[in-house]
Amino acid sequence: MSKLSNSKIEERALVVLENIISNHQTMQAQFNSMDKEPSRDGYIWIYKESDGNQNKKNIDDKVPVQIKGHIDDNEIYLNKSYINYPVSIEDLEVYGNDRGVIYFQVFMSADGARREIFYTLLFPTKVKYYLDKAKKKGNKKNINVSFTKLCFLSV
């Protein structure tokens, strides 16, 4: 099997999340492909009611998201419940100056058959914690962030 391009890996990660969100009546994905926006990949729209009216009157919130896709050739991250993974300090600074982000790490087997999704809620106070930790450790580029496996039920 030939190696996938970064854009193809990102596309697969976005599709995995879009499929989960599309099965939920009160959520809608608005993801950008090819890194159109710095430090985030789009939004998840949350609606108050699941009555089929996804309109302005029914909007509850618009949550920013960052999505990173990875091929896990050695299957290090598949079948884990929690992971630590590096996140860019520059990105954390952006999230800390805004309202934060839901950060997803999507790991796939080389053939794409197996996938695991991990997430963390990076709200400003949590971002501050990681930035302070990075500063104490002398990290200039990345800091390891804790992620939890996303568990979902098939509909």
Supply the pTM of this predicted model: 0.89
The three-point CA angle 23-7-71 to 5° equals 75
pLDDT digits over 108-118, tens only? 988 878 899 99
pLDDT digits over 7-51, tens only? 888 889 999 999 999 888 888 889 887 666 677 889 998 988 777
Using the Cα atoms of residue 6, residue 8, residue 9 and residue 10 in order, give the sign of their dihedral. Answer: positive
Q: Of 148, 86, 146, 91, which Cα lies nearest the Cα of 117?
A: 148
- Report the chain's mean pLDDT, rounded to a whole number: 88
